[in-house]
Amino acid sequence: MDLDSIRDLRARLHEQIGKVVVGQSTPIDLLLIALLAQGHVLLHGVPGVAKTLLARCFAACLGLEFRRIQFTPDLMPGDVVGTNLFDFHANQFQLMRGPIFTQLLLADEINRTPPKTQAALLEAMQERSVTIDGTSHDLGAYFMVIATQNPIEQEGTYPLPEAQMDRFLFKVDVGYPDRDAERSLVARHGRGSGMPKPSEFDVGQILEPERLEEARRTVREVLVAEEVVDYVVDVVRASREQTTLLAGASPRAAAMLAAASRALAAVSGRDFVTPDDVKRLAMPCLAHRVVLSPGAEIEGHSCASVIRSLLEEVPAPR
């Protein structure tokens, strides 16, 4: 798949998802970039801004097998990954696969379940495999997690462990649409209270899953010049020197930022990464990976504001 085809894929994805979800063009872009860079995405926002619907439409457009887990306080790790049950007829244990055995997994309201169950996703997100009773089971190269998260201030939520936050390539804030987009939403979906189905709006498949690997190979060939590599490293290392942060971004974050920048260049039709690509993705890629100091939090700083000031301080190559 060449760069023109990848750029066309981006346009068609917006066209198809836009039939159902309005006013969320940035999350659509970041979902596609994450898929091409083999990353996972955390969608953060209040209930009712189409996070779940966006994930459903994304899977429908790409022809990926889709399964959803509603995370609740009583959900157990075995409910996610599955378990071995003894079959008395066959006189042996049989693997009962959990919903994690899919290509695109929607972890809905992931922060409404305790950390023990949240941790059931850690191996799957990092290794694309799960271990059940000592046996490893492969989840396939296309495995991707899209998780939705409600604001932590809301009742009945648990904070996500830092190790799990680091598994997400992007944390994407899904906000309210503007007035025109919201008016269009009401005109389309104001006939009933149920969640719209992509099929009801003729959302069509635009890519065969087999071609996804071709697109990923093209993305991996996008050039990252030496000076841009230095810029990525300098930005990430600068996060570790901020007095307002208890912990900066990891080397893994630097590698993931470079991979995502390659994907952004590809969907833009370019075979090279620019510093602007890095700047555009630094916020969704790094802000959830750093830890704000208590003093900075009291002073009104946020992880996003620290990353923003950091990007202003680190000189970009010309």
User: What pTM did the predictor assign?
Assistant: 0.91
**CATH of span 222-313:** 1.10.8.80
Percent of the chain with pLDDT over 70: 97
Cβ proximity of 110 and 155 under 8 Å: no
Between CA 107 and CA 55 the distance in angstroms is 10
| CATH superfamily placement of domain 3-212 | P-loop containing nucleotide triphosphate hydrolases (3.40.50.300)
Local structure of residue 195 (DSSP, 8 states): P
* The pairing of beta strand 144-149 with beta strand 104-108: parallel
Q: For residue 295, give the H/E element and its range.
A: helix 294-298
- pLDDT value of residue 214: 93
Residue 128's nearest CA partner among 142, 110, 146 is: 142
Between CA 39 and CA 145 the distance in angstroms is 8
pLDDT digits (tens, 9 = 90+) for 289-303: 998 888 888 888 888
Percent of the chain with pLDDT over 90: 53
Looking at residues 116-144, what average pLDDT do you find? 89
Q: For residue 219, give the H/E element and its range.
A: helix 209-220
Mean of pLDDT over the chain: 89
Res. 153: pLDDT tops 60: no
- pLDDT value of residue 149: 86
CB 206: neighbour CB atoms within 10 A? Answer: 17
Q: For residue 29, give the H/E element and its range.
A: helix 25-36
pLDDT digits (tens, 9 = 90+) for 49-62: 889 889 999 999 99
- pLDDT value of residue 312: 93
Res. 186: pLDDT tops 90: no
Res. 17: pLDDT tops 90: yes
CA 128 to mean position of chain CA atoms: 15
**In the chain, what are the helix, strand and coil shares in percent, each to the nearest 5?**
50, 15, 35
Res. 183: pLDDT tops 80: yes
- pLDDT value of residue 216: 95
Between CA 283 and CA 304 the distance in angstroms is 7
CB 271: neighbour CB atoms within 10 A? Answer: 13
**Domain residue limits, the chain:** 3-212, 222-313
- pLDDT value of residue 117: 86
Res. 318: pLDDT tops 90: no
Query: Which tokens go with 295?
Result: 């003093």
Place 281 in a pLDDT band, splitting at 50, 70 and 90: very high
Q: Which of 29-38, 83-92, 147-156, 209-218 has the highest mean pLDDT?
A: 29-38
**Residues, the chain:** 318
Between CA 306 and CA 311 the distance in angstroms is 9
- pLDDT value of residue 119: 83
